[in-house]
Amino acid sequence: MLHVVGLGCARGGAAVLSNVSFDLVAGQALVLRGPNGIGKTTLLRTLAGLQPPITGDVVMPEETAAYASHADGIKTALTVTENLAFWAEVYGMPLDLAVLDRFDLAGLRNRQGGTLSAGQKRRLGLARLAVIGRKILFLDEPTVSLDTGSVAMFARWLQGDHLAQGGIAVIATHIDLGLDAPVLDLTPFQSAPGTGGGTDEAFL
Amino acid sequence: MIALLKRDLRLALRAGGGFGLGLAFFLIVVVLVPFGVGPDRDVLSPIAPGILWIGALLAALLSLDRIFALDFEDGSLALLATSPLPLEAAGLIKACAHWITTGLPLTLAAPLFGFLLLMTPEAYGYLLASLLIGTPALSMIGTFGAALTVGLRRGGLLLSLLVLPLYVPTLIFGAEAVRRGAAGLDASGALILQGGITAGCFAILPFATAAVLRINLR
């Protein structure tokens, strides 16, 4: 379902990764590893279509992917339920409030986003992924600021709901989620320093 | 699309600074003018259309930098860019939400403010019509400017410098329509040209906004 062929991507006009290739079928996850600055976020942003690849191709069915960044995109003036309802409506999905229990947010449903703690915000950000009903997820450090219980809860959802129902996930993370998933170390794909970044230069 | 419009309007209502701020700013500008030029009817009455239009321009400018900046900071802009909603539609909706929160209240309150400036009674209808036709263009041009400066530090100042010159045609024909109305002349030409500018803005700028956002999100 997700084919990545010879992908090269750039950050700030400098190539960071080249020749990344992998294939994922329904129900599979891939964990991205590598030291800081290796290009995990850049790769995920390229996969999600936020920036064009400099070489190679990403092949997947249209309108099936979703991206979750470092930032959760939570509106501080909206309540937990309103935040989720907004994303459900944007993606044209019905909002099933059972998701609140799933991510331990039921007690917070009428709290405004701005009053949540960092971990609660993250849980709300992850609950968004369950609401939008997308098959392919690109997750950038999904467990930042989560406690161990919440990490386990998220891993259970990912394995038991998302992947079990034929989903795909590409996850950049430093901790072990306990997933039954192959690990891709990005170090061998690092571009040689000084290689041109391609596409950006035309604009700069 | 409706979801984004509802969310933006709700945010404008809750976070404050949406409906009230632009209107209050407009009121202050209009109230300050008689202090500056004197309360004489012969002085105020002829300049009232121009003052009202410049006031509307500045009030619309006030909230522009918030259109994309907040969504950019909390990450929802990147999430919106990867959602099924095209960025072109997002730009259009953002402009509409900005108009509903600033342009529309300004238009509705303008006749009252015209009274403060001793505007000729015949001009009220033209003031209302020209603001109704012209302010959507202000929001759309401003949304494009906000997309250009999103992610920049102190982008608000740069935004004003970019956007104000683009407001000139709307200002010229808007004020001209009211002036001609006040003088009892035919104002339809100015209003039609204004409508053309607004229609042109809405036809082109959503695409420009989306293109610029895509580059800024890279």
pLDDT one-digit tens code per residue, A162-186? 888 888 999 998 888 878 788 888 8
pLDDT one-digit tens code per residue, A30-62? 998 888 888 888 999 999 988 888 988 888 888
Cβ pair A91:B10 closer than 8 A: no
Cβ pair A50:B80 closer than 8 A: no
pLDDT (mean) for A142-155: 89
Q: Assess whether pLDDT exceeds 90 at residue A188.
A: no
Q: Does B203 touch chain A (CB under 8 A)?
A: no
Cα torsion through A187, A190, A192, A194, rounded to 10: -130
Q: Which among B8, B71, B76 is the top mutation candidate for probing chain A, defined by the most A β-carbons within 10 Å of its own β-carbon?
A: B76
Give 10-residue mean pLDDT values along chain B (218 residues): 86 75 88 89 89 91 88 90 91 94 91 88 91 95 94 86 94 93 90 95 95 90
Cite the DSSP H helix spans in B150-187: 155-166, 168-182
Average pLDDT, chain A: 86
From CA B142, how far away is CA B98, in angstroms rounded?
9
From CA A146, how far away is CA B61, in angstroms rounded?
40
Cβ pair B84:A92 closer than 8 A: yes
CB-defined contacts A:B, below 8 A? 75
| Residue in chain B lying closest to A68 (CA) | B79
Domains of chain A: 2-189 (3.40.50.300)
pLDDT (mean) for A20-33: 89
ipTM comes to 0.86
pLDDT attached to residue B17? 57
Please state the pTM of the whole predicted model: 0.89
pLDDT attached to residue A203? 47
| Total residues found in chain B within this entry | 218
The full 3-state SS of chain A, as one line of letters, equals CEEEEEEEEEECCEEEEEEEEEEECCCCEEEEECCCCCCHHHHHHHHHCCCCCCEEEEECCCCCEEEECCCCCCCCCCEHHHHHHHHHHHCCCCCCCHHHHHCCCHHHCCCEHHHCCHHHHHHHHHHHHHHHCCCEEEEECCCCCCCHHHHHHHHHHHHHHHHCCCCEEEEECCCCCCCCCCEEECHHHECCCCCECCHHHHCC
Beta bridge partners of A57: A5
Cβ pair B82:A200 closer than 8 A: no
Instruction: Enumerate the residues of chain B whose CB falls inside 8 A of the CB of residue A87.
Output: 79, 83
